[in-house]
């Protein structure tokens, strides 16, 4: 009986592996998809690479090198961003892209997005230590933030105050914005707080409008599903 059981398990395992290797799951929020693909056309690794690098910008691209605390300012370096850019660009250059004009175009647009996002992140780190570099990447729309970051203490603090007042107008709980501002203003590191706040919520938000972000989500979803033999959609209830 034990020998029969061993044979049964040995035969079953390859079948289970094959059954899993031609399925890919994706989605977010309340909608999820399960797609079955032809393993003679794509491997699971290729499907995952297409999803991770072309389907949508990676979460790492949005978070790498971010600075949220003043304690990070003095030791901030562009190394994590530089490494991420180099490694991801290598994937974009060497990955197998599905045939067709859409995917060729999307690859170029992702490369552009990757370059511009990483470039502004790099500039942010450099400007934290030397805000004069912002004059080399000057936009009139962001001039007030650039001038304040390169001005005296009074100009910096005044710009921070004005930023806080604008934030209160667009926040559900303006009293919390005011409370956090006063806490930082009354600390011994008020100038550091002012610089980081103005860089993050002033200059960055202003400059972000000049950075390319690809947003053709519906078309990408449609073309991605065409890579599969069949796709099952599941919508969860609220």
The predicted structure's pLDDT at residue 134: 96
| Contact of 145 with 159, CB cutoff 8 Å | yes
Which whole number is the average pLDDT over 57-86?
Answer: 93
Per-residue pLDDT tens digits for 175-231: 999 999 999 999 999 999 999 999 999 999 999 999 999 989 999 999 999 999 999
Residue 170 domain-assigned? yes
Out of 33-37, 100-104, 169-173, pick the least confident: 169-173
Q: How far apart are CA 109 and CA 100, in angstroms?
A: 15
| Domain presence at residue 57 | yes
Q: What is the average pLDDT score of the chain? A: 90
Per-residue pLDDT, averaged over 29-35, amounts to 91
Q: Whole-prediction pTM value?
A: 0.84
- Rounded to an integer, what distance in angstroms lies between the CA atom of residue 12 and that of residue 28? 33
Q: Is residue 4 part of a domain?
A: no
The predicted structure's pLDDT at residue 57: 81
Tell me which residue of 197, 72, 63, 75 sits closest to 117, measured CA to CA: 63
Give the domain range for residue 125. Answer: 39-226
For residue 63, is it within any domain? yes
Q: Is 141 inside any structural domain? A: yes
Range with the lowest mean pLDDT among 10-14, 190-194, 231-235?
10-14
Asked whether 232 and 31 are in contact (CB, 8 A), the reply is no
Residue with tokens 């999307």: 106
Write out pLDDT tens, residues 76-131: 999 999 999 999 999 999 999 999 999 999 999 999 999 999 999 999 999 999 99
**Average pLDDT for 132-143:** 94
Is residue 110 assigned to a domain? yes
Q: Residue 146 domain-assigned?
A: yes
Q: Is residue 48 part of a domain?
A: yes
Tell me how many domains the chain contains. Answer: 1
Region 53-80 average pLDDT: 92
């Amino acid at each position: 009986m034990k020998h029969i059981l061993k044979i049964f398990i040995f035969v079953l395992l390859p079948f289970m592996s094959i059954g899993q290797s031609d399925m890919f799951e994706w989605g977010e929020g309340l909608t999820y998809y399960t797609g079955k693909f032809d393993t003679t056309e794509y491997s699971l690794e290729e499907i995952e690479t297409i999803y991770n690098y072309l389907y949508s910008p990676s979460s790492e691209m949005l978070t790498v090198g971010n600075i949220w605390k003043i304690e990070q300012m003095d030791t901030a370096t562009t190394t994590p961003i530089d490494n991420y850019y180099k490694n991801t660009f290598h994937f974009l250059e060497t990955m197998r892209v599905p045939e067709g004009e859409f995917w060729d175009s999307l690859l170029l647009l992702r490369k552009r997005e990757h370059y511009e996002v990483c470039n502004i992140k790099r500039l942010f780190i450099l400007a934290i230590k030397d805000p004069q570099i912002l004059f080399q990447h000057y936009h009139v729309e962001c001039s007030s933030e650039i001038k304040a970051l390169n001005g005296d203490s009074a100009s910096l603090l005044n710009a921070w105050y004005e930023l806080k007042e604008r934030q209160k107008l667009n926040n559900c709980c303006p009293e919390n914005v005011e409370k956090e501002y006063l806490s930082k203003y009354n600390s011994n590191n008020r100038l550091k707080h002012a610089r980081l706040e103005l860089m993050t919520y002033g200059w960055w938000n202003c400059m972000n409008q000049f950075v390319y972000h690809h947003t053709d989500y519906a078309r990408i979803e449609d073309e991605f599903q065409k890579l599969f033999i069949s796709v099952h959609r599941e919508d969860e209830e609220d």
